[in-house]
Structure 1
């Protein structure tokens, strides 16, 4: 069966800076730049745009409602932390958004990376407890989306009595009754929670060989196949390999060492397996490279999503196909500068990926016929 890869892109929330080795600026909104970005993405072969979540950036729900008015096709992947809002109210807000832009919304459910930041929001559960709570949260959300009667729930973290919503989820496809759910995390409990409650397990990047191992560890039964894997990473693609490497090094030139030390402090205080494991990958990398095309040089400044595929058009397309063979079905990408990188990727890499997928599909059909 032909299953083309899906490509999403991270919405660039942070204010412009000289390069990615510099400290983040204020959490303000450059609305003009964001409108330009989403309008461009709407014309490209991008599945959806990730609206990230964190104390250092604007609220993604309000921002998504504003930006969606400037699009007609591209979807939005709303990142939100389970537990910071009543699940009933959250479903109500998601359903409202679905009416505003015809169901072009999916959810990236996250469980937090830092006990310190969780404390900002009055949340003091441990890492595993947060994932346990997320399971209950998604149980309730799913029940509300698919309910024909009022929903009651009695769990460890949530209790509901006869919950009901008149504003239902809407989509251009009448059979779709709820948004697609991506659950993030690299830990075993994230893996398990995603397998039970989501349609895609979203994790930070690694080598294709390590991804194969993680995919093999996912529980699978005759009745429940392995959940698809999505990777959150970056790309730096140019016409030649030399140009791509030069562009990668420019991303972190003249670094702010105080910012680098601040990020290390954040990682040290984090209880996220995803955050710590990707940072450790970067520390152990041979001259910042985990492979011929996998570069970790920006990770110490930008964290896990900055692990990047670097190379010319053919090299990056080939690496993406290696990930597909390793069990990856979706990518959430970013780049530097992100608008130009998204355009370059869609114009030069994506057609190569699609051509290889068509060839793969043709071979499968021929083998099936034999």
Structure 2
């Protein structure tokens, strides 16, 4: 089974100590790390190159370029990453509704033309009304998902139509649409969201459906839901899980680091909430993570929910804590459920990107042993 590993890119350096100001983002606190402090300008070209190359050297397949109403332009950031690496791909987050779908499709196709096969689209419909409003969008979530559905219909036509096309949808009308630049191979579409509307639209369009790091039983439930939504459209999506590994040489050392991350996060989240009036209660994915966190700090073998509880489940906020071998074992448990993409990012972005090469090697070696689904209580991990 081929496993895809995705990290996360950043244009600004952060660390787990020092002084700084919280950075607003789609994750609520920082696209880099809840526990970290930002240093220097928001856009640091040298740092972006360093973190991209660190991911490539560690064996990652892609890095996510995240999106928020305050983020630097993602297309520019993606092009910089692709230009300064040799094989690393980019998963570029994009919110439908602010750029015409024909133009967005050509922008992705142009990146693909310069860097064939290395760009993918991550559809972020938008679960935070306040962040949408910062860019002038005051629609409600059900409307946004209907708009995303219409948007992706046009994007697919722009990517694939060899002849001019017309489109008459609820939100977009196109006459004689045509693109001179089209991807030689399909640009993969990743999709996230936990609401019924998200599953309905994602089931229709997603090549890869992305989940936050829930316990194994929750991920199994969500896979069944998405497959059921995708089946009427003749689609068979792959699945991604996003997690925050905290590995160390020993389990005890890993938990010591986790305790320090939690301490720093508690300090930082209070400052961020006061600055940005953060509230993720309307997001179904956050509600699910908080419900699990209320049941206990540790689920399955080592899924740690304390950061999710502290931040209000602001995005990808559940961690796996243990030795390298133990964390790899837990990642393989998700693979055994049918997950083929693992989005892993740490709390010290650059250092963790370099360190995660060990995890990637262990998981890829372990997947070679998985010919059929294994029992969750008895996963097979390389020594």
Shift in Å, 1:27: 7.1
Deviates more, 1:214-223 or 1:318-327: 214-223
* Partner residue of 2:364 out of 330, 340, 354: 354
Partner Cα separation in structure 2 for residue 313 and residue 154 of structure 1: 52
Instruction: Say whether 1:316 aligns with 2:330.
Output: no
Instruction: Say whether 1:337 aligns with 2:335.
Output: no
Question: Please, what TM-score do these two structures have when normalized by structure 2?
Answer: 0.84
* Partner residue of 1:191 out of 186, 189, 199: 199
User: Counterparts of 1:197-236 in structure 2 under 5 Å?
Assistant: 197-218=205-226, 219=228, 221=231, 224=234, 226-236=236-246
Unaligned runs of 5+ in 1: 171-175, 365-370
Conservation of the 8 A alpha-carbon contact between 2:14 and 2:36: no
What secondary structure is seen at the aligned counterpart in 2 of 1:71? coil
Conservation of the 8 A alpha-carbon contact between 1:285 and 1:296: no
Shift in Å, 1:326: 2.1
Number of residue pairs the alignment of both structures matches: 352
Instruction: Describe the shift of the 1:242–1:90 C-alpha distance in structure 2 as closer, same or farther (beyond 3 A).
Output: same
Instruction: Describe the shift of the 1:355–1:66 C-alpha distance in structure 2 as closer, same or farther (beyond 3 A).
Output: closer
> Which residue in the other structure is 2:24 paired with?
none
> Which residue in the other structure is 1:281 paired with?
292
Unaligned runs of 5+ in 2: 18-33, 375-383
What secondary structure is seen at the aligned counterpart in 2 of 1:361? coil
Conservation of the 8 A alpha-carbon contact between 1:78 and 1:105: yes
Instruction: Describe the shift of the 1:165–1:192 C-alpha distance in structure 2 as closer, same or farther (beyond 3 A).
Output: same
> Which residue in the other structure is 2:317 paired with?
306
Partner Cα separation in structure 1 for residue 273 and residue 157 of structure 2: 44
What secondary structure is seen at the aligned counterpart in 2 of 1:310? strand
Partner Cα separation in structure 2 for residue 127 and residue 18 of structure 1: 35
Deviates more, 1:150-159 or 1:288-297: 288-297
Partner Cα separation in structure 1 for residue 275 and residue 298 of structure 2: 20
Instruction: Describe the shift of the 1:29–1:272 C-alpha distance in structure 2 as closer, same or farther (beyond 3 A).
Output: same
* Partner residue of 1:242 out of 252, 256, 263: 252
Instruction: Describe the shift of the 1:246–1:264 C-alpha distance in structure 2 as closer, same or farther (beyond 3 A).
Output: farther
Shift in Å, 1:245: 0.9
Partner Cα separation in structure 1 for residue 210 and residue 341 of structure 2: 9
Shift in Å, 1:188: 2.1
Deviates more, 1:351-360 or 1:241-250: 351-360
* Partner residue of 2:302 out of 290, 293, 298: 293
Instruction: Say whether 1:30 aligns with 2:44.
Output: yes
User: Counterparts of 1:1-370 in structure 2 under 5 Å?
Assistant: 3-18=1-16, 20-21=34-35, 28-170=42-184, 176=185, 178-218=186-226, 219=228, 221=231, 224=234, 226-254=236-264, 255-256=267-268, 258-259=270-271, 261-262=273-274, 265-268=277-280, 271-282=282-293, 284-286=294-296, 288-299=297-308, 300-301=310-311, 303-347=314-358, 349-361=359-371
Question: Please, what TM-score do these two structures have when normalized by structure 1?
Answer: 0.87
Instruction: Describe the shift of the 1:363–1:322 C-alpha distance in structure 2 as closer, same or farther (beyond 3 A).
Output: closer
Measured on the aligned residues, the alpha-carbon RMSD in Å equals 2.5
Shift in Å, 1:101: 1.7
> Which residue in the other structure is 2:377 paired with?
none
Shift in Å, 1:358: 1.4
Conservation of the 8 A alpha-carbon contact between 1:97 and 1:103: no
What secondary structure is seen at the aligned counterpart in 2 of 1:230? strand
Partner Cα separation in structure 2 for residue 204 and residue 198 of structure 1: 16
Partner Cα separation in structure 2 for residue 79 and residue 249 of structure 1: 31
Deviations 1:299-351 (A, max 9, x none): 2337231211111112111111111122322111100212222222222x222
What secondary structure is seen at the aligned counterpart in 2 of 1:32? helix
Shift in Å, 1:90: 0.4
What secondary structure is seen at the aligned counterpart in 2 of 1:315? helix
Conservation of the 8 A alpha-carbon contact between 1:233 and 1:304: no
